Amino acid sequence: MRIDSRVPYRYVKCTLPAAIHDASSYASANAVYFAYMSSLRERLARIIQGDVSDDADMRKKYSRDTSIFERTPEVVVFPKSADDVASIVRYARDAALRGEKVSIAPRSAGTDMTGGDLTDSISLVFTKYMNHVVDISNDAVTAEPGVYYRDLEKQTLAKGAGIIASYPASREICALGGMVANNSGGELTLRYGKTARYVRELDVILADGSKATFKKLTFAELSEKMQEESFEGEVYRKSHALIEEHAADIEAARPTVTKNSAGYALWDVIDRQKQTFDLTQLFTGSQGTLGIITRAIVGLVKPKKHKAMLVVFLTDIGILPEIVRRVLEASPESFESYDDQTFKLAVRFIPQILRHFGILQMIKLAFAFIPEMFMVLFGGVPKLVLMAEFAEDTAEEALDKARHARTSLHGMAVRTKLARSETQAAKYWTIRRESFALLRKNLHGLYAAPFIDDIVVHPDNYPEFIPELNALLQEHHLLYTIAGHIGDANFHIIPLMNLAVEKQRKEILELAPKVYALAAKYKGSITGEHNDGIIRTPYLPIMYGEKICALFAEIKGIFDPQGILNPYKKVGGTIADIERSMIRDRGRV
Ligand SMILES: Cc1cc2nc3c(=O)[nH]c(=O)nc-3n(C[C@H](O)[C@H](O)[C@H](O)COP(=O)(O)OP(=O)(O)OC[C@H]3O[C@@H](n4cnc5c(N)ncnc54)[C@H](O)[C@@H]3O)c2cc1C
């Protein structure tokens, strides 16, 4: 018996009894060796075209993302095609059926803040090979998951097409797969919504290794799909039955805030008015726990070109709710914010920030920052800076709207400024977009620790919510920064912590559920865009209750019966998982 190095392992396995019986033959010994004695790396390398590594440095490199967690993968796999991904999934499925503990965590650019892409088994990394834009039409792009957003946007703009308007603040470092799998949002989400709104079609590898293409189906198309004698057919039958059976509970659980990435979006699968069934909406935001995306078709928009920004400097947080209400009435395209800590850090690290820019822009920005330096020097730093950007068809229209918003704030205790062009607005955007990266890179010995990083409440609840949140944060005496999408009431609170200290790690476990409970009390979301991962999965019942979480578990069981797809994220994660995987060093010192 000759063993072809590309013969999938499951076929080798089928021939094993005969091989063992005839142990004198070299080939059969070979089969036994590869089936049971070889390393996971060797076994996987034999069944795919891409690369597999268990080198210590490589495993370390992929043991972290931007969360507070660390998990070292047993192997790192760089697939070259959907076929490779299918082979890896089939391997994991077969191994799980034999009782082995093998699972797969897909990873695009690894900028996840929740530990969603971390694993101690197989890390499946898409940015090395599966990083191509396949097609660009006027209003959609077809691309592989590993393409960096910055590269994708260059190509769509070069073709005169639009952009993916839900790009996150990590736009320079994240990739498409993660944007879809996290249902990311960003500075334009206030007007254009999150990624789910733009996902039209997904090619995925299901838990049995089969390929499926998910897109919006009419009810007639759904009936056909449900008749298929395949795992895909079963997925359609069972998920449809589950969503129908629990329709009322599911509808009641639908979050009412504008942004949510917590749980599985069961409420977005069936559109009863349009009579459609769309599994892309369940997949988007599912963090690789239901299947692995190998290609996506995502809609593009062309945002209005002319912009003007109203900047509001605020010292009394008490009047924030009223300011937000008045500014939103003028319908800004985006409405962002950052606090005094972020402001001071940005001024302190201006040279670093400027390094990202070309020489001309660098000089312009350096001059633009002079007033901010004076503010820091003379103690006039505002508690909060709010940036409302108005985008319209003409420069006059945009400026008019910004002026209108400014007028609406007359009589309130704020300073305001109009940035009439993109150049004038650039420094504010720079601070806002760089805020988390600044914290991560510059605070030696302290981690920028995302664990209450993404709560959302309705702006109407600000007057009660903000004092309660402040009280909680003060109770814990933490050093933290707040930046975020104020228009969507989505707060990024990032405490700065020394994770080598057990007391600080405990603080995370104490504070997180209190903040989530507060968000839930105001019918908000525990995560607007960063998703659940390791950090929030155990707390999903706080937001949804046990009944809905049981439905999440059923959905997971339908799509992933062997539990091989990014297990313990979204479903089954525990507080012990959080404790076990938390980073335990001081960061860069
Ligand atoms: C400085 C900074 C700012 C950020 N700002 C924002 C923001 O404004 N909005 C926002 O939404 N997020 C933000 N994030 C979080 C993160 O960058 C985004 O969610 C981003 O879209 C993740 O993309 P990624 O390619 O890095 O994904 P990864 O980190 O690689 O993965 C994210 C999740 O998707 C899964 N996944 C990856 N590829 C696939 C695939 N092919 N199939 C199935 N599942 C897959 C992973 O398993 C993981 O659970 C920020 C992060 C940083 C560091």
Probe residue for ligand 1, chosen from 112, 455, 488, 494 as the CB with the greatest number of ligand atoms within 8 Å: 112
Instruction: Look at residue 341 in the predicted model and tell me its pLDDT.
Output: 85
Q: With bands split at pLDDT 50, 70 and 90, how would you rate the model's confidence at 317?
A: confident
Atom of ligand 1 nearest to the CA of 108: 30
pLDDT in tens, 285-302: 999 999 999 999 999 999
Instruction: Look at residue 18 in the predicted model and tell me its pLDDT.
Output: 40
Atom of ligand 1 nearest to the CA of 112: 29
Please indicate whether residue 151 or residue 339 has the higher confidence score (pLDDT). 151
pLDDT in tens, 511-566: 999 999 999 999 999 999 999 999 999 999 999 999 999 999 999 999 999 999 99
Instruction: Please say if the pLDDT value at position 204 is more than 50.
Output: yes
Q: With bands split at pLDDT 50, 70 and 90, how would you rate the model's confidence at 14?
A: very low
pLDDT in tens, 226-257: 999 999 999 999 999 999 999 999 999 999 99
- 23, two tokens: 């142990």
pLDDT, mean of residues 318-339: 93
What is the distance between the alpha carbons of residues 169 and 186, in angstroms, rounded to a whole number? 6
Atom of ligand 1 nearest to the CA of 528: 11
Highest mean pLDDT of the ranges 305-319, 362-376, 570-584: 570-584
Say how many Å lie between the CA of residue 367 and the centre of ligand 1.
Answer: 34
Q: With bands split at pLDDT 50, 70 and 90, how would you rate the model's confidence at 571?
A: very high
The residues facing 335 across adjacent strands are 388
Q: With bands split at pLDDT 50, 70 and 90, how would you rate the model's confidence at 472?
A: very high
Residues 6+ apart with CB under 8 A from 9: 34, 35, 43, 46, 47, 91, 94
Instruction: Look at residue 376 in the predicted model and tell me its pLDDT.
Output: 63
90, 46 contact by CB (below 8 A): no
Say how many Å lie between the CA of residue 244 and the centre of ligand 1.
Answer: 31
pLDDT in tens, 73-116: 999 999 999 999 999 999 999 999 999 999 999 999 999 999 99
Say how many Å lie between the CA of residue 293 and the centre of ligand 1.
Answer: 13
Instruction: Look at residue 3 in the predicted model and tell me its pLDDT.
Output: 34
Instruction: Look at residue 553 in the predicted model and tell me its pLDDT.
Output: 98
Instruction: Look at residue 24 in the predicted model and tell me its pLDDT.
Output: 47
Q: Tell me which residue has its CA closest to atom 52 in ligand 1.
A: 170
Say how many Å lie between the CA of residue 530 and the centre of ligand 1.
Answer: 7
Probe residue for ligand 1, chosen from 107, 203, 492 as the CB with the greatest number of ligand atoms within 8 Å: 107
Say how many Å lie between the CA of residue 510 and the centre of ligand 1.
Answer: 26
First to last CA, the chain: 57
- Cα-based angle 333, 436, 467 (whole degrees, multiple of 5): 75
Instruction: Look at residue 355 in the predicted model and tell me its pLDDT.
Output: 67
Q: With bands split at pLDDT 50, 70 and 90, how would you rate the model's confidence at 478?
A: confident
What is the rounded average pLDDT for all residues in the chain? 90
What is the distance between the alpha carbons of residues 467 and 470, in angstroms, rounded to a whole number? 5
pLDDT in tens, 73-83: 999 999 999 99
What is the distance between the alpha carbons of residues 132 and 144, in angstroms, rounded to a whole number? 5
Highest mean pLDDT of the ranges 76-85, 365-374, 409-418: 76-85
Tokens 């070889």 correspond to 38
Instruction: Please say if the pLDDT value at position 356 is more than 80.
Output: no
Instruction: Please say if the pLDDT value at position 19 is more than 60.
Output: no
Q: Tell me which residue has its CA closest to atom 50 in ligand 1.
A: 170
Residues with CB under 6 A from ligand 1: 65-66, 105-113, 116-117, 126, 145, 168-170, 174-175, 177-179, 181-182, 184-186, 287-288, 292-293, 436-437, 529-530, 566
Element (H, E) at 372: helix 370-377
Q: At what angle do helices 219-227 and 231-245 cross, to 10 degrees?
A: 130
Q: With bands split at pLDDT 50, 70 and 90, how would you rate the model's confidence at 422?
A: confident
Instruction: Please say if the pLDDT value at position 408 is more than 50.
Output: yes
Q: With bands split at pLDDT 50, 70 and 90, how would you rate the model's confidence at 436?
A: confident
Instruction: Please say if the pLDDT value at position 7 is more than 80.
Output: no
